A and B are shown apart, each in its own frame.
Chain A
């Protein structure tokens, strides 16, 4: 008999149908993957199992957990279940912990509540649990607060809370989406070990097929609240019988076709962008009154150059200083020392007025397609924003023409001009921010994780668009990413950054195939790879 059985589950919230007949069964000790793009209803399926739905939610169907009818269970019974029998790990480790309580208290809380253990016993168990998730007491005493930990360490605390009582079912909702690839690998390994040790079942929710292929025994693919396909992971992903499965698999290994921009023969006269000895220090809060304020070196003596029409990736783990570097190049932050020359002119330390020609030729695309637009303006005004940099201000009609042209370049239409940002989907919004970036016909676009917030199929199309714009308009890119598949798909050269320094530079292919530095090796080894994990799986089943 299965531990969790969901039959024909339907859910509507405020009149909107969200789930339409979900069937899902998880056996004891099994890891089930739930895959779908954003808005497909995967998180709400998980919340239904916990019965943590928002007000106004109506459910129909059958959800049985270990013989208990969840949909009929009263709130008091659910409270006993949550955290004891079912544990949950959330996506965002920054907000899943109470900032005012120590990590020890937060782990012990559930133990005391469910087992009635006294404070000392609960603390002993909390200590053991934190030790198990890789936060030994010597370095991470129970009295630490969440803000004193890094993102990966916080996610470990969240896992400790979820697993403290050895639940029968662990639900992990995109547990590694907010982390870089190296941390992702560590956290996934930890989850796998905990599941194996305690004989738990796990429902792993993810949009990343490579992660699911590596982690799960079986998977269920959902779209628009309906199950598309379900079955043994290796079979489903290698046979790809269902068209939607095929589409997802193709999208996640997609490499845009590019007319290889043949490098101009002979060294180009002058690089488009040249960075020399760039350093940025941040003051660190003083530890005591007497102690001198120390500094944190976010970017440490970085030098590189980028030629016209060239695409380069800046790859590194989170916190390695890549975004700080990008901001200095964009003249949004001042370097502590070193020089940035763009189009032959120094950028650092110049007035906003003197920067106008540089800004015109250098635009930016950000990660979050939701956050990068003022929600109160229409698309026309948003896309037209950089036109402010032109010396001759275009009149209203000319402005509309320029905006329409930019929109058409990125695959949107003229009629989208009068919409507000929230009327666009995530992928369309990212197209909109690219339109905004190309409207002044720049020579360089700095893109800070431009596709990491997007679903795989949309990501593939946006990468195509980037490649296409590079071919057609000859725009050079500096791509900042922690995702090697993205770097691989779109760039000629890659620079690997580690603790503020560039530790390796080379052609993308070569670096990915044969990384020389430790930092690059760690990144390559940790990157989830759909093809590789499927091959491993097949090899295993052939042996077994």
Chain B
């Protein structure tokens, strides 16, 4: 029987129950949720104002007033990490959004169109893939000047081929299926079929890829700002904080520890979330455990 379990949607409630029974999904969701909450709260409130410098309080250790201590300019580390989270998340959301927003239409179009258009698009994809993405992002920011917006664009561009490829592969597998043929026999055009039939059926693929790309974008942003090419001071960012802590690692190791931990935990959380999502959305994997 050619029964394909991937495409059977579970009713919403069962879906959620299964999701929460999945350990990596749950842990990933909690970690990601905490980071997102920190970022949200930072819009309204942070323990201290990070633009006010207080040299008297520089390089304090952990204490009740400064939970995670202070840096070399006397700024509160917890406040900086909170605002850094906001910065990382915004960069990642916009970069992944660029990738999805351009990559998915390109990929589904290539799959629907076929022929030379598909060929040209996919070879162009390969060309973009051939550049080491972080180095090219460095190049782009070096040319257009450092800053959060340029970092976003640089990271976003390298997300496009990833999503184009995933969307095209998923769509190609769907096009020969009978329900698509039936829709064509009903006179629907390729664009309409893509929107109505293809996209909902590759959404889970894209969602999983999205969480992975999100984690990669956060890493890339940290890397760029570590090199001084991301968000510019006084805007704090995790990569920048690591850079500043580097020279003082012997005096105040906590300055390197906490931003580092923030990066590691966020990436880990997102990867767990993506893993869990894949298990939940793909019943074939679910049955194997």
Using CB atoms and an 8 Å cutoff, list the residues of chain A in contact with chain B: 38, 54-55, 330, 332, 352, 355-356, 359-360, 362-364, 366-368, 370-376, 385-386, 388-389, 420, 422, 433, 436, 453
For B186, the chain A residues whose CB sits under 8 A away are: 359, 363, 385-386, 388-389, 436
A352 to B197, CA, bound (A): 18
Give the A-B pair count, Cβ closer than 8 A.
76
Cβ 8 A contact of B182, one of A38, A356, A375, A433: A433
Contact B2 A385 (CB under 8 A): no
Nearest-CB distance from A34 to chain B (Å)?
17
List, sorted by A's number, 20 A–B pairs whose CB atoms are closer than 8 Å: A332-B181, A332-B184, A352-B187, A352-B189, A355-B187, A360-B187, A364-B185, A366-B181, A371-B179, A372-B179, A372-B181, A373-B179, A373-B182, A375-B7, A385-B186, A388-B186, A389-B186, A389-B187, A422-B8, A422-B9
Given known contacts A38-B1, A352-B189, A374-B197, A385 and B182 CB-to-CB distance under 8 angstroms: yes
> Is B46 among interface residues, defined by CB-CB distance under 8 A?
no
> Is B65 among interface residues, defined by CB-CB distance under 8 A?
no
Residue of B nearest to A390 (CB): B187
Map CB proximity to A onto B154-190 as digits: 1 under 8 Å, 0 otherwise.
0000000000000000000000011101111111110
Nearest-CB distance from A387 to chain B (Å)?
8
A386 to B189, CA, bound (A): 12
Taking CB atoms and an 8 Å cut-off, the chain B residues in 227-270 that contact chain A are none
A388 to B189, CA, bound (A): 11
Contact A374 B201 (CB under 8 A): yes
Nearest-CB distance from A327 to chain B (Å)?
8
Residue of B nearest to A364 (CB): B185
Nearest-CB distance from A146 to chain B (Å)?
18
Contact A356 B187 (CB under 8 A): yes
> Is B115 among interface residues, defined by CB-CB distance under 8 A?
no
Given known contacts A38-B1, A54-B287, A376-B200, A371 and B187 CB-to-CB distance under 8 angstroms: no
| B contacts with A: majority SS | helix
Contact B287 A388 (CB under 8 A): no
A93 to B84, CA, bound (A): 57
For B288, the chain A residues whose CB sits under 8 A away are: 55
Contact A368 B184 (CB under 8 A): no
Contact A376 B201 (CB under 8 A): yes
Contact B200 A371 (CB under 8 A): no
For B2, the chain A residues whose CB sits under 8 A away are: 368, 370-371
Map CB proximity to A onto B188-224 as digits: 1 under 8 Å, 0 otherwise.
1100000011001100000000000000000000000
A185 to B185, CA, bound (A): 35
Task: Contacts A352-B187, A359-B187, A422-B8 known; list 14 others, CB within 8 Å.
Answer: A55-B288, A332-B184, A352-B189, A355-B187, A363-B185, A364-B181, A367-B178, A371-B2, A372-B182, A388-B186, A388-B187, A389-B187, A436-B182, A453-B1
For B185, the chain A residues whose CB sits under 8 A away are: 330, 332, 359, 362-364, 386
Contact A371 B178 (CB under 8 A): yes
The 8 lowest CB-CB distance pairs between A and B, nearest first, are A372-B178, A386-B186, A359-B187, A366-B178, A371-B178, A375-B7, A364-B185, A389-B187
